[in-house]
Amino acid sequence: MPQTQEPLPKQADTEQDDRRLLISELCDYLEAYLDRDTIAHVYRAYLFGAEAHEGQVRRSGEPYIYHPLEVARILAGMRMDGQSIMAAILHDVIEDTETAKEQLATEFGQDVAELVDGVSKINQIEFSSKEEEQAENFRKMLLAMARDIRVILIKLADRLHNMRTVMALPREKQRRIARETLDIYGPIANRLGVRQWAYELEELGFKTLYPMRHRVLQEVMRKRHGNRKAVVEKIKQAIINQLQQEGISATVTGREKHLYSTYKKMKEKTLPFDQVYDVYAFRITVDKVDTCYRTLGIIHNLYKPIPGRFKDYIAIPKANGYQSLHTVVFGPFGLSSEVQIRTQDMHNVAEVGVAAHWLYKSGEKDTQQAQQRALQWLKNLLDIQQKAGNPREFLEHLKIDLFPDEIYVFTPNGEIKKLPRGATVIDFAYDVHTDIGNKTIGAKVNHQMVPLRTHLRNGDHVEILTSEWGRPSPAWLNYAMTSRARAHIRAYLKTQQRGESVALGERLLDKAMSELDGALDDISIEDCDTLLQSLKIKSWDDLLEEIGLGKRLAPMVARQLVPEKTTAVAAAEPTKTDGLVIHGTEGVVVSYARCCRPIPGDPILGYLSSGRGIVVHTEDCPNISEFRKHPEKWVDIQWEPDIKAVFPVNLRLEVRNQRGVLASVASAISDMDSNIDAVKFEDKDGQTTTMDFTVEVRDRAHLASIMRSLRNVESVIRLIRKKG
């Protein structure tokens, strides 16, 4: 679709006139299907939005209000209701201005305010990782869509206009927005059946992300179109004449397939352009379903069908409600073409999907079914999101769900089940019911026993064998393909793992308690509650699970439950007792972080690490910033005052590149009663050398004397203690 952009006005008066011209054009368009009172509300929303965005401009230099007006114009093309048009005009006022949701509710009603708020919330939160940000944005989008499907239609229209004007942005941002459009917004538009927008979003995304590929493919298509234009017209006319002879009234249109769909086919099947045969498509629109099948017979009698390329989406509609008969035939001159046959009602739903609810009579069966399918899809995705363990898992489920290539199989009762291509018996079992999937022990496909990893094909009859003792296996995740099956398998395994972890944690804690002359049975409910509050853990089972998984150490928890033992140890120490003395951590593994190499005298912190016990860091270690996000894992520790041990420390020296410098440095370290564990050299510029030493020290005072001795070496230019 060509980009239409108003010229940038030179004066304020001209700018205001152009704005009025835009809103007047929108109001003229709305008069075709909305009443005068609703149009008056739309105009009032425009005045409100224009005032709120006053002084704001887009990257292209045009006033910002042009953007929401264009979004409203796109929705008006779908004949969306007045509330949607008002929300489109106001969709950025909460996010980009000081306008509050309550103010919108007062001015334009609660429904409009909720729509604007739903669109705004999709992009408002900042996250610690890009993956987490994407997952959370999609979750919020799904929630907003589940409340009111119009939210996503406004968001899609917003993205469509942004793509039409994306060339005003820096190249890197163009690529990011185009990639997101192809990965998410185009497929969502297609999944909701809004094919007009899906096609344009994909074409604009393809052109922006791969401009050279788009240009080359467009040129090849143009040349091919020029050479075969007469042939395509001949096929079209032959179809019309044949249908007239059979007494069928129909509308026949011919078109080239979209560039992006052609590019995807070439890429997926590794085909050169010359081998992509069904580049042209013909659509035949008739009056009723019975005529669709009669027309199919006429087309197959006129041109030979290609085996295996016929699809009946009328008997078995796509998930987004799309219905049509598809066939690919050999035309004259060896030109194969796709032919789509549908009724006018099917065509309406095929073009605008869920938006058909507003574009046509809201009581029509097909449009209501399209809405129900969309809402069911959203419900399933939200259910999967709740079971997903992390953002990456949810994104994996989402992308699987957005790119289905469907097959159709039958239950023993003859019910049709729709699954993505590549689905296995396990996917089928979970599609029937979660309990069926969890209790599966075997399966029959076409009355033959098959392994659970068997891939299903179109038309297969599938029977699942279950048992009360049946349980999901972790191996199932290797061949479950659908997001629904994977989410339920993972949820079951997590529940099973929790039970085992709780039991293990209880055994470990009971053993640690017995070593302190205590027992779990002797602990009061009040002491348990006090401990849970101090550790900020919700329940006793949660604490036992953390112990069982190694996230929390049983001896440390036992000491908090049996304070008498800890107090006796602490009373024997002459130093401060509000921290845990490292020497008093009997039964707990203690290790020293290699990043900062803590030594006695350093201010230190202890971090609970699964499998490593307490890891000791210096308080100024650069690496502990990441650990500070989990304060519940920090342990207050301190050095014993009289330690008979040596500790490694990393030193970096920058020295002049002179003969005998290594001997001088080694001698200085040896004179201070220290050993060298390791040394590494790096020649910087021929005149200076960097030396990294690992030396053994007793404490900070010993280290200080070593560093003073090294600074007295004539060749040493710079000396630091390495951390991080």
Per residue in 478-528, pLDDT tens?
788 887 888 888 888 777 777 777 887 888 888 878 877 777 777 888 888
305: pLDDT strictly greater than 80: yes
Instruction: Give the type of residue at 476.
Output: W
Rg (CA), the chain: 35
For position 201, what pLDDT does the model report?
Answer: 93
Q: Across residues 294-321, what is the average pLDDT?
A: 84
572: pLDDT strictly greater than 50: no
Written as six digits, the tokens of 707 are 């560093």
For position 208, what pLDDT does the model report?
Answer: 93
Rounded to whole angstroms, how far apart are CA atoms 89 and 23?
10
Is 96 in the active site? yes
When comparing pLDDT for 325 and 187, which is higher? 325
Please answer whether residues 74 and 161 qualify as being in contact, where contact means their C-beta atoms are separated by less than 8 angstroms.
Answer: yes
Mean pLDDT of the chain: 78
Rounded to whole angstroms, how far apart are CA atoms 724 and 720?
13
SS3 letters across 453-502: CCECCCCCEEEEEECCCCCCCHHHHHCCCCHHHHHHHHHHHHHHHHHHHH
* Paired sense of beta strands 448-450 and 647-656, if any: unpaired
Q: Of 28, 54, 96, 219, which is the active-site residue?
A: 96
Domains of the chain listed by start with CATH number:
1-121 (1.10.3210.10), 122-209+366-401 (no CATH), 213-360 (3.30.460.10), 573-644 (no CATH), 647-721 (3.30.70.260)
Chain CA centroid to CA 318, Å: 24
SS3 letters across 286-338: ECCHHHHHHHHHHHHHHCEECCCCCEECCCCCCCCCCCCEEEEEECHHHCEEE
For position 290, what pLDDT does the model report?
Answer: 92
E-assigned strand segments in 492-598: 580-581, 590-592
Rounded to whole angstroms, how far apart are CA atoms 655 and 670?
18
1: pLDDT strictly greater than 50: no
For position 457, what pLDDT does the model report?
Answer: 82
For position 573, what pLDDT does the model report?
Answer: 38
For position 500, what pLDDT does the model report?
Answer: 76
Contacts of 427 (CB under 8 A, 6+ apart): 419, 420, 456, 480, 481, 482, 484, 485
Q: Which helix (H) or strand (E) holds 571?
A: helix 563-571
For position 128, what pLDDT does the model report?
Answer: 40
Q: Across residues 557-566, what is the average pLDDT?
A: 67
Nearest Cα residue to 331 out of 242, 236, 256, 250:
236
Per residue in 590-629, pLDDT tens?
778 888 889 988 888 887 775 566 788 888 887 777 666 6
The CA dihedral of 498, 500, 501, 503, to the nearest 10 degrees, is: 120
259: pLDDT strictly greater than 70: yes
For position 574, what pLDDT does the model report?
Answer: 36
Is 35 in the active site? no
401: pLDDT strictly greater than 60: no
Q: Across residues 190-203, what is the average pLDDT?
A: 84
When comparing pLDDT for 515 and 140, which is higher? 515
Q: Is residue 381 very low, low, confident or very high in pLDDT (cuts 50, 70, 90)? A: low
Q: Across residues 562-583, what is the average pLDDT?
A: 44
When comparing pLDDT for 156 and 636, which is higher? 156
Per residue in 405-438, pLDDT tens?
667 788 888 777 878 778 899 999 998 888 898 8
Nearest Cα residue to 528 out of 548, 513, 517:
513
Rounded to whole angstroms, how far apart are CA atoms 690 and 678?
14
Rounded to whole angstroms, how far apart are CA atoms 486 and 400?
11
Phi-psi region of 689 (alpha: psi -120 to 50; beta: other; left: phi over 0): beta
Please answer whether residues 192 and 374 qualify as being in contact, where contact means their C-beta atoms are separated by less than 8 angstroms.
Answer: yes
Rounded to whole angstroms, how far apart are CA atoms 505 and 508?
5
> Please, what is the end-to-end C-alpha distance for the chain in angstroms?
55
Rounded to whole angstroms, how far apart are CA atoms 511 and 504?
11
Q: Is residue 566 very low, low, confident or very high in pLDDT (cuts 50, 70, 90)? A: very low
CA atoms within 13 A on the CB side of 293: 6
Q: Of 6, 15, 18, 95, which is the active-site residue?
A: 95
When comparing pLDDT for 187 and 629, which is higher? 187
Q: Across residues 139-151, what is the average pLDDT?
A: 65
Judged on CB neighbours under 10 Å (0-12, 13-18, 19+), 676 is middle
What are the backbone dihedrals phi and psi of residue 533, each rounded to the nearest 5 degrees, phi first? Answer: -65, -40
Q: Across residues 110-130, what is the average pLDDT?
A: 66
Written as six digits, the tokens of 36 are 């005068």
Q: What letter would DSSP give residue 169?
A: S
Rounded to whole angstroms, how far apart are CA atoms 664 and 616?
33
Per residue in 683-692, pLDDT tens?
777 788 899 9
**List of long-range contacts for 60-64, beta carbons under 8 Å, 24+ apart:** 60/5, 60/8, 60/165, 60/168, 61/8, 62/5, 62/6, 62/8, 63/15, 63/19, 64/92, 64/96
Please answer whether residues 443 and 462 qualify as being in contact, where contact means their C-beta atoms are separated by less than 8 angstroms.
Answer: yes
What are the backbone dihedrals phi and psi of residue 672, each rounded to the nearest 5 degrees, phi first? Answer: -95, 20
Rounded to whole angstroms, how far apart are CA atoms 536 and 559?
17
What are the backbone dihedrals phi and psi of residue 276, each rounded to the nearest 5 degrees, phi first? Answer: -90, 95
Per residue in 268-292, pLDDT tens?
777 777 666 566 789 999 999 999 9
Instruction: Return the percent helix, strand and coil in the chain, to nearest 5.
Output: 55, 15, 30
Please answer whether residues 342 and 325 qualify as being in contact, where contact means their C-beta atoms are separated by less than 8 angstroms.
Answer: yes
Per residue in 355-373, pLDDT tens?
554 444 444 444 455 556 5
How many residues does the structure list for the chain? 724
Q: Sign of dihedral through CA atoms 698, 702, 704, 707?
A: negative
CA atoms within 13 A on the CB side of 2: 2
When comparing pLDDT for 553 and 263, which is higher? 263
Rounded to whole angstroms, how far apart are CA atoms 656 and 123?
56
539: pLDDT strictly greater than 60: yes
For position 85, what pLDDT does the model report?
Answer: 92
Please answer whether residues 344 and 316 qualify as being in contact, where contact means their C-beta atoms are separated by less than 8 angstroms.
Answer: no
* Paired sense of beta strands 280-286 and 336-343, if any: parallel
Phi-psi region of 587 (alpha: psi -120 to 50; beta: other; left: phi over 0): left
Per residue in 626-650, pLDDT tens?
666 666 567 767 787 778 788 999 9
Rounded to whole angstroms, how far apart are CA atoms 476 and 492?
12
Please answer whether residues 474 and 444 qualify as being in contact, where contact means their C-beta atoms are separated by less than 8 angstroms.
Answer: no
- Specify the range with the lowest mean pLDDT, choosing from 117-131, 181-195, 219-233, 665-679: 117-131
Count of C-beta atoms within a 10 Å radius of residue 226: 9
Q: Give SS3 for 224.
A: helix
For position 60, what pLDDT does the model report?
Answer: 77
